[in-house]
Amino acid sequence: MSTISGKAFDFPILKRIYSYTLPYRRAFYFSVFLTLLLTLLSPVRPILVQYTIDNFVVIPDYDGLLFWTLIMIGMLLFQTLVQYAHTYITNWLGLSVVKDLRVSLYKHIVNLRLKFFDRTPIGILITRSVSDLENIADIFAEGLITIIGDLLTLFVIVVFMFAIDWRLTLISLSTIPILLYATRIFQQGIKVAFQEVRTQVAHLNTFVQEHITGMYIVQIFNREEEEMKKFKEINHLHAKAHIKSVWYYSIFFPVVELLSSASIGLLVWYGAREVIGGTVTIGNVIAFVMYINLLFRPIRELADKFNTLQMGMVSSERVFKVLDTKENITNDGTIIPEKINGSVEFRNVWFAYNKENWILKNASFRIDPGKSLALVGATGAGKSSVINLVNRFYEYNKGEVLVDGVNIRDYELHALRKNIAVVMQDVFLFSDTISNNISLNDPAIKRQEIIEAAKAVGAHRFIERLPGGYDFNVMERGAMLSVGQRQLISFIRAYVFNPKILILDEATSSIDSESEMLIQEATRKLTQNRTSIVIAHRLSTIQNADSILVLDHGEIKEQGTHQELLGMNGYYKKLYEIQFATEKAG
């Protein structure tokens, strides 16, 4: 895992971030223009105050005083309007860029292969997609543009000050070296603190997401207190990281105020002497007091803005690291068939999730269109790997996987998957209506088609009895439905998509007998006239399969019909006798 540099000015990353402003170039250029305008407006007010005091207060002139006061009020209103426009445009620009970047990130994530998710905590991806992207928005609202504006403002103010009186300028700037040193120490310390904050946020997100999702297991095994201890420790580290950043602020801001007050005190002391001596006007002293405030405020904010920019850089690196992850399934295929017949063939296929740790070893078999193949074997035999390879969820290492005699890598990926449906044992339902969970919000699938499919697989009656029927919200992961009901929903989902190849991870081992009968009938309906690959957990449910494949540690041990395999008096017969004896004893 590569380290994150955390540079405040990482120009390649800044260039990449600002490339996302191209669709909003007018807003970007306008924000730059407003920044420059504010830079010029800031030093003008003290000059107007100086001119007014020296010419219309020291030498009383009520008409002139009124006129220039109105000028200053108008100037203040104009500057306020420009400041409003600048704040709005920069924030709008940042949020627009983040909106586009979030779409790019999500699109990239959904196209990553499953192997990436096997080793990447979901909480990390949530942090990248939400809070890290919010930090990138701050680069525009409080980052580079405003930092450049503040630096230009400081430069212009100092030029104006020297132009008015170089002696008062030197007195006013006498504490600046100390302030710059304090700012540097603060900036280095807060950088480390902020990086720790982001790390702890990711850890907290990961822990909370995993444990709320797995709350069922936590409560079943009475682990609430132990998990609470872990949560308290992670939460403590999260709070500690934030408190450390607060500590730096609590030291730095009083130091800035102290140095600012010291500069004003020195200015008043020296300026008063010069006013008495007649070498400096009162207006000059008052203008310099205003300039000191204009100087110290940006310097104080610059430290904060540098850290905002730095956190934006850290978050950008993390987001771009995900975007640069080259774990997509290669989609170089060009074949987009109008329809497929559904034959599936494995030719000398080798597959490993990790290098050389082979899950499938030289596997070869064929399924003719409309026929059914059952996969049996102990846990880890390689059954699930077969169905993962057919869909190209994972890539095989050696050999060939063919559909209708064509290598699956030669098909356009979405055209291939469009013809394959998978009904998993662990059914995933979204927090949405039954109807939307079946159609997956595909507008081409109409309500009547959903109802007809539900009737075909025998699920219409139970759906109709639910409050709201097909509009019943199943809540997160289908928590409002039983295991059998969730399984039936997945059968309807597969039915409405009308695939030519159907893959079933049989799931009747943990449901009641009534649901089991419904699912077996749904299986019969669903597999009619379709090429079917069934992972069998109960051998009694696959006796009518056209062919049964017996796997053991990734190797094909036996193949044939139920009767043929029993006649071999080998591995399959032993499995069958063990299950039969267990069920009889039960």
Q: What is the CATH number of the domain that holds 106?
A: 1.20.1560.10
pLDDT(317) > 80? yes
Boundary-marking domain end, from 323, 355, 389: 323
pLDDT band at 2 (very low <50, low <70, confident <90, very high): very low
**Confidence at residue 402, expressed as pLDDT on a 0 to 100 scale:** 93
Residue at 549 is within a domain:
yes
pLDDT(405) > 60? yes
**Of 51-55, 249-253, 311-315, which has the strongest mean pLDDT?**
51-55
Same domain, 275 and 391: no
Same domain, 103 and 202: yes
Same domain, 167 and 45: yes
Boundary-marking domain end, from 258, 293, 323: 323
Q: Specify the pTM.
A: 0.69
Residue at 2 is within a domain:
no
Same domain, 546 and 401: yes
pLDDT(9) > 80? no
Mean per-residue pLDDT of the chain: 83
pLDDT band at 80 (very low <50, low <70, confident <90, very high): very high
* Angle value at C-alpha 442, between 440 and 444, nearest 5 degrees: 145
Q: In sequence order, which ranges of 111-175 are alpha helices (DSSP H)?
A: 114-119, 122-129, 131-138, 144-164, 166-172
Same domain, 352 and 268: no
**Confidence at residue 424, expressed as pLDDT on a 0 to 100 scale:** 80
Same domain, 304 and 342: no
Cα–Cα dist 492/435, whole Å: 10
CATH of the domain at 391: 3.40.50.300
Q: Which two tokens stand for residue 101?
A: 């970047």
Range in 52-61, 247-256, 535-544 with the lowest mean pLDDT: 535-544
pLDDT band at 582 (very low <50, low <70, confident <90, very high): low
Domain count along the chain = 2
Residue at 130 is within a domain:
yes
**Confidence at residue 581, expressed as pLDDT on a 0 to 100 scale:** 58
Q: What is the pLDDT of residues 272-294, one digit of tens each?
A: 888 888 888 888 889 888 888 88
Residue at 410 is within a domain:
yes
CB 562 within 8 A of CB 549: no
pLDDT(408) > 60? yes
CB 48 within 8 A of CB 128: no
pLDDT(74) > 90? yes
Same domain, 374 and 270: no
Cα–Cα dist 586/582, whole Å: 6
Q: What is the pLDDT of residues 479-535, one digit of tens each?
A: 788 887 888 888 888 888 888 888 887 655 555 566 667 777 777 777 788 898 888
The percent of residues above 90 in pLDDT, for the chain, comes to 9
> Tokens 């699912």, residue?
519
Cα–Cα dist 44/74, whole Å: 12
pLDDT band at 322 (very low <50, low <70, confident <90, very high): confident
Cα–Cα dist 217/430, whole Å: 20
**Confidence at residue 85, expressed as pLDDT on a 0 to 100 scale:** 93
Comparing 145 with 433, the larger pLDDT belongs to 433
Boundary-marking domain end, from 263, 298, 323: 323
Closest CA to 127 of 191, 192, 209: 209
Q: Say what angle helices 224-277 and 176-213 make with each other, to 10 degrees.
A: 160
Parent domain of 550? 335-419+538-586
Question: Percentages helix, strand, coil for the chain, rounded to the nearest 5?
Answer: 65, 10, 25
Q: In sequence order, which ranges of 457-512 are alpha helices (DSSP H)?
A: 460-464, 483-497
**Confidence at residue 73, expressed as pLDDT on a 0 to 100 scale:** 93
pLDDT band at 3 (very low <50, low <70, confident <90, very high): very low
Residue at 473 is within a domain:
no
Comparing 214 with 51, the larger pLDDT belongs to 51
Q: What is the pLDDT of residues 216-226, one digit of tens each?
A: 677 877 788 88
Residue at 31 is within a domain:
yes
The mean pLDDT value for 175-204 works out to 81
CB 503 within 8 A of CB 533: yes
